Every structure is written in structure tokens, then in C-alpha cells.
Structure 1
Amino acid sequence: MARRGSYAKGVARREEILESALDVIGRKGYQNASLKEIAEVVGVTPAALLHYFGSKEELFTEVLRKRDEHDGLDPAFLDADAARAGFIDVIRHNTQVPGLVALFSRLSVDAADPEHPAHQYFLDRSERLRETFVESFGPGGHGRPVLEPETLARVIQAASDGLQLQWMIDPTVDMPAIMEALIGALYPPAPPAALTTEPQI
């Protein structure tokens, strides 16, 4: 019983650390979010953080996983309309947490190294995101994509990542509006069905 209780406490403390790190990084940016400051918010030592996560890079990778949980990126969207609205909502929310956007962009570059702790995270996340779009924008949706679903998914993903970089340099860039316009152009909604009237007798 003691082991089970200790394990549960460890899981709870790990979650507390991730939530605190999300808040600190979202407000202050990952460059200003030292292990010391995150540890102080949780009430542990920096050494205790490393006990739970191994390294700062591993902690930041898990912070991004936790962000995805909050954003609802893990569950598949129900249909094309839901995918469009949900993805735009996530982008809109990102404008409120610049520190997490900067962390994502920085780690996505560093994770090009197969040995980096975030490498597998980005591979898995990208695959899930593209699968979501392929399913949502493929046959049976509410419109007609101008590109093959797999190509469309990669274009949307690339545009989203690139817009984040532009927005970090120039916060006046309207990421949600630009992405909404792009998706609308690449996946135009089906025209409304023509109204028919019964001939009067």
C-alpha cells in the first residue's frame, strides 16, 4: 500500500510541476523560466525537478504534451467543420501564451536532432495532426479540397508553424484570420443546395 500511495503522490506532484511550468512559461517565456523559478512555484528544489524529468529539455517536452492535452489536439476532430473551428481556436489561444509558442518553435528546431528528447514528440504530434486533417478534409467532408488530403494537411501544418515565427517577430500578424482564409481557400465549403419549389397547380 505504501508503494501505491507513494506512486500516486509522485504522479500528482509531476502533474503539479507540469501545470506550474505551463503557467510560468506561458507568462514569462521559456528563456526566462528557469528550473529554479519553476521549482519555487511548486515548492520543490531544482534537483527534485530533475528527479521527475531528467533534464530541462525533457521537462519542456512534457510541458508541450500537457499543452496539447489542454488544447484538445489529441482527440480526433469529428468532421471538417469541427476540425477547421477547433484548429483556429487553438491558434487564437496561442496568441495569449507567447512563451509557449516560443518554446514550441525553439524545440521544433532543436528536435531535428534524433537524439533530442523532443524528437519523437514532434514526429508523433505531426503525424497525429496530419491524420486528423486527412480524415477531416478527405472524401465525405462538407467541401472539395483543391489538393490531395495528405498534401493539404502538410501545407496547413507548414503554414501554421511558419506563421508562428512571423507572429513572434511581429505580433500584429493575425494568425487566426490568415489560417482561416488559407483553409477556406484550400478547402472551400460546398455551395448551398439549390432551393427547389413545387410547381403550383
Structure 2
Amino acid sequence: MHPEFEKYLVANTSLMEDTIQDIGNNAINKTLRRNELLLQAGDVCRHKVFIAKGLLRTYSIDANGNEHIVQFSPEHTWTLDIESYDKETPSLINIGATEPTEVLLWTKDDFNRLLNEVPELRKLSQQIISRNIYYSRQRILTTLSGTPEEKYDDFIQRFPNLLSRLPLRMIASYLGMSIKTLTRIRHTQLHR
């Protein structure tokens, strides 16, 4: 088992060590190189993913080749394409590593069995789903009604540790603005 996953469960649950070991032992460990895909659009998402170390991005590419980043998933977070995973249909998104990344993967059958056997894991899973729904709603509202400055301020408040780990083009893509606009905002903030 990955020590970061063990630390995560110890910090977020009161599970006994043997249960933590069992959950971890059901996972597949995978290491991704920078820019390596974990999920490619067109493939079916077959795993729940815990990021032990590193950083993933979830994105789509439009007909003009432009990348649109939907989500960043740093260490100690979970990710997947929920629609593809639930419906077992081809994904419309890619999930790729922005830096060398270590993940743990659980198949749908294994994770569902663990949820049934470990009520506290089910509770943690439900809390994560709720937090993601709340965050997604807030992100949609900010995207629809926020100024570029408000979008950037929201990003740096939510993800202060990601600023130094991401190229400006990825931050701009996530915020739905041009690099030129993002550079102007950053320049203005630095000279306040």
C-alpha cells in the first residue's frame, strides 16, 4: 500500500489498520510520467482513482485543438469520469498527469464490494461526492458570473499550492480565459 493513502485514511477516518491495509491491498498502484494519460477520450473509465503523489488534470479537446480543463486533482484527492464509470460508456474527457504522478486504482467491482463491507469508507465516499457537488456548483456560478479577476482570485484562494506547479496556459484554460488576459491580471495584482 502507498504510505500517502494510508496517511489520508488515518487523517479522514477512524478505520483500523487492518481495514486500511485491506482497502489499499485491493488497489492497483500505477505511476504516470508527465503528460501521460490515465484515461483517454473514447475509452471507458473503469477505475476509481486516488492521487497519492503528483497532479492530474481532467480536460477535453475541442474541434480546433483547444484544451479545456475541467478539474485539477492534486495529491490526496480522488478523480474519475463519473458518467463513463457509472454508465460504462466511452468517456468524452481525458485525464492526464501534469507532473510525475502516483495513483491507486480500484475496479468498480472491488470498490463497490469495499463500500458494502466498510460502512465508514461508504460515509467518506458520500462526503467526497457532496463536497464535489458543492464545489462544482460554485465553480459554475463563478464561471458564469465572475469577472476574469474574480475567477483568478477564486482559483488562488482554492488552489494556492498549484500556482507554482502549473504552466500559465493550463491555469488560463481552467479559468476559461486567454493567456494574455491572465498575464494582465497577474501583472496588475503584482503591482498593487
TM-score, normalised with respect to structure 2: 0.29
Point out the structure with the larger helix share.
1
Point out the structure with the larger strand share.
2
Say which one has the larger Rg: 1
TM-score, normalised with respect to structure 1: 0.28
The higher relative CO (CA closer than 8 Å, separation ≥ 6) is in: 2
